Structure 1
């Protein structure tokens, strides 16, 4: 299994795609961090209600957790695409037959891809988190808040963000086994993630207005992208369920994705 994992990592390292995705992840931090820094100052200074940020979510530790996980939204998209490419590259470059002839146990191949994908997710999390920690700690210290890294809410958000990165690479592998056409898989996953998430948010907002109940908005957690964000958000509000609900939903998607991927690959005719 270790040899299979190393071979999967080698396949990724020898292509330029992961570099472009890594650059995209860094740019996402550059875009998200200033916005989250402004949100921190506005909320902590008492302007949270105007932005719909109230309760536990308006506390300094909660906002610091948001600051230290800047760039997560697009970062998860990029690691998902890496997971997709790890599978679809085999079909795009017509190496799937060779791969499964060299390793007839297809389950072992998919498991190695899942492990390798999780390791890449960890690498992306590590680099982006180090950048967020440096910039976030400097920003908070300059604004006389301290680093707030000793707060459990912040530490939990960082750890759960790690889990989110690992899970989304696993989801990417699952999507790649479901849609083997590389272009089709990348476009479908990207549209569902970027546009689908916004559509789901609007639908639940309209539904909550129709039913005159803000509690309906909590059901957004069934959408994996929303679950990721909720998972790293401390506390509970009228709009979001507790963080652990998002974590359970995301773990459920990961398990389902991995199982479906194994079953499809074992049954698929590859020639």
Structure 2
């Protein structure tokens, strides 16, 4: 616990956490407005009924009040997870940037204990980000749902399950960030690489799966869940959508990535020269 407290102290005594907090808040506002706009379009498209053709079932399911509510109550997940990923990475790369890694490992020769402390501290940080955005969502979403003339859906288990799984996603992405920070020790290099892979990779794989689906059929579309960002998005989907895997598949995939990142990161930290 002393090591975890030390890691949390390192985070609190730098400007990094509140800078990321401000950026996350701005991105959360943009995400809420985006989700509101999408939800409005969905309600308008299904208001008169009669939807036909490819994707009609998907649109109708997405417009279900529970799914609309789940989306709004988990607003900011995509960019919020990116912020947590970057912050957790910096928890590691800061040691190399400020050349304190050698001192840290000399004071605590068991390197796995240091890595574990960074993992726990990063998970706590991720959960704080989730908690703050969830509180904001619980304030904003009811207002937006009222404007959309949709019931608040707070009595629906699927909504609370989506909110809870969103918290799990924040924790797991924090673990991924620590693993990435150990793998890419350069702070600048890690920041550029991870942000590029996260954003460009997500949209790039979406386009790829769209092309593959049009070529080989809908079955291949379910493989999108193997992409970490798609897995975390599936976790907050509310009710199951036609043609998509159930939520638990996204949970399993993301836990798998987090386990690999945690174990691999610990193994590399124990064997790599810190100088």
Instruction: Say yes or no: does 1:234 pair with 2:238.
Output: yes
Query: In the alignment, which residue of structure 1 is the partner of 2:101?
Result: 96
Which runs of 5 or more residues in structure 1 are unaligned? none
Q: 1:268 to 1:186 in 2, by over 3 A?
A: same
Structure-2 separation of matches of 1:152 and 1:234: 9
Q: Could you list the per-position Cα deviations for residues 28-77 of structure 1 after superposition, in whole angstroms to 9, with x for gaps in the alignment?
A: 11111122123223323443869864353321011100011111100000
Query: In the alignment, which residue of structure 1 is the partner of 2:2?
Result: 3
Q: How does 1:1-271 map to 2 (within 5 A)?
A: 2-47=1-46, 53-211=58-216, 213-271=217-275
How many Å apart are 1:142 and its aligned residue? 4.6
Structure-1 separation of matches of 2:148 and 2:60: 22
What is the Cα-based RMSD across aligned positions, in Å?
1.7
Q: Could you list the per-position Cα deviations for residues 121-175 of structure 1 after superposition, in whole angstroms to 9, with x for gaps in the alignment?
A: 0100011111111001122235543321111111011000000111111100000
Provide the TM-score with structure 2 as the length reference.
0.93
Provide the TM-score with structure 1 as the length reference.
0.94
How many Å apart are 1:252 and its aligned residue? 0.4
Number of residue-to-residue matches in the alignment = 269
Structure-1 separation of matches of 2:269 and 2:11: 20
How many Å apart are 1:186 and its aligned residue? 1.1
Verify the 8 A CA contact 2:61 2:242 in the aligned structure 1. no
116-125 vs 135-144, which deviates more?
135-144
Which runs of 5 or more residues in structure 2 are unaligned? none
Q: 1:144 to 1:237 in 2, by over 3 A?
A: closer
Verify the 8 A CA contact 1:61 1:151 in the aligned structure 2. yes
Verify the 8 A CA contact 2:81 2:173 in the aligned structure 1. yes
Verify the 8 A CA contact 1:54 1:237 in the aligned structure 2. no
Verify the 8 A CA contact 1:79 1:168 in the aligned structure 2. yes
Structure-1 separation of matches of 2:42 and 2:60: 11
233-242 vs 102-111, which deviates more?
233-242
Structure-1 separation of matches of 2:242 and 2:147: 32
What SS does structure 2 have at the residue aligned with 1:54?
helix
